[in-house]
């Protein structure tokens, strides 16, 4: 691995405060209807845990899917594959997908199409981070934690070559 520096961008406390706000907003928007949450693994598991704790409803069900679009580097390979599939059916469900970050938009728009093909009644997206400048596909998440600049970030679930997912904050990884 080449030399790098880690620059802290968003603290764990800030993320948890934002997750509370987002959770309340989501609960209000769903107005008591059942919410079927699909957490995108591995990047969104930490934020997903924060978010679902803060959606005050007893109508929430949970599943996860593992996708791959990055091949251990800082660039998306453009090909989105399902590494581990859902366990539950989404047919007829109002689905809330929880993502770690929306960058080019390819991964999430492929997943949205995939869930609609399986018969989901609606698919909304909540993302911890939104990298608007990296966008290559026309896609707008419904709920955004934080807007960030076009830089490579790690921590709070996000990895570089499978490392740094355990950092309790989001940081920019600066290569020297």
Residues 65-104 that bind ligand IMP (CB under 6 A): 69-70, 76, 99-104
Sequence-ordered alpha helix ranges (H) in the chain:
12-30, 45-53, 106-117
Contact 123, 86 (CB under 8 A): no
In order of 52, 150, 170, the CA distances from 154 in angstroms are 22, 13, 6
CB of 59 or CB of 161, closer to ligand IMP: 161
CB of 13 or CB of 133, closer to ligand IMP: 133
Residues 126-155 that bind ligand IMP (CB under 6 A): 152-153
Q: Does residue 133 have an active-site annotation?
A: no
How would you classify the pairing of strands 94-102 and 122-130?
Answer: parallel
In this structure, the chain runs to a length of 176
Q: Which helix (H) or strand (E) holds 51?
A: helix 45-53
Spatial distance between the Cα atoms of 15 and 93, rounded to a whole number of angstroms: 28
CB of 92 to ligand IMP, least distance (A): 26
Residues 28-67 that bind ligand IMP (CB under 6 A): 43
| Residue from the set 35, 46, 97, 106 that interacts with ligand IMP by CB under 6 A | 106
**Exactly one of 13, 29, 63, 103 is catalytic; which is it?**
103
CB of 50 or CB of 100, closer to ligand IMP: 100
Dig out the tokens for 30 from the structure: 């769903």
Residues that bind ligand IMP (CB under 6 A): 43, 69-70, 76, 99-108, 152-153, 158
Which sequence positions are flagged as catalytic?
Answer: 103
């Amino acid at each position: 691995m080449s030399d790098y520096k880690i620059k802290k961008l968003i603290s764990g406390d800030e993320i948890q405060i934002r997750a509370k706000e987002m959770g309340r907003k989501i609960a209000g928007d769903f107005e008591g209807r059942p919410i079927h949450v699909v957490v995108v693994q591995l990047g969104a598991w930490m934020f997903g845990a924060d978010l679902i704790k803060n959606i005050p409803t007893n109508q929430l069900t949970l599943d996860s899917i593992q996708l791959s679009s990055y091949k251990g580097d800082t660039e998306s390979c453009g090909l989105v594959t399902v590494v581990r599939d859902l366990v539950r059916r989404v047919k007829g469900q109002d689905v809330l997908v929880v993502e770690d970050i929306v960058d080019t938009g390819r991964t999430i728009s492929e997943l949205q199409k995939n869930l609609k093909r399986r018969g989901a009644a609606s698919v909304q997206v909540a993302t911890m981070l939104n990298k608007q400048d990296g966008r290559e596909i026309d896609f707008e998440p419904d709920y955004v934690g934080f807007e960030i600049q076009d830089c490579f970030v790690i921590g709070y679930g996000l990895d570089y070559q499978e490392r740094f997912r355990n950092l309790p904050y989001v940081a920019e990884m600066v290569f020297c």
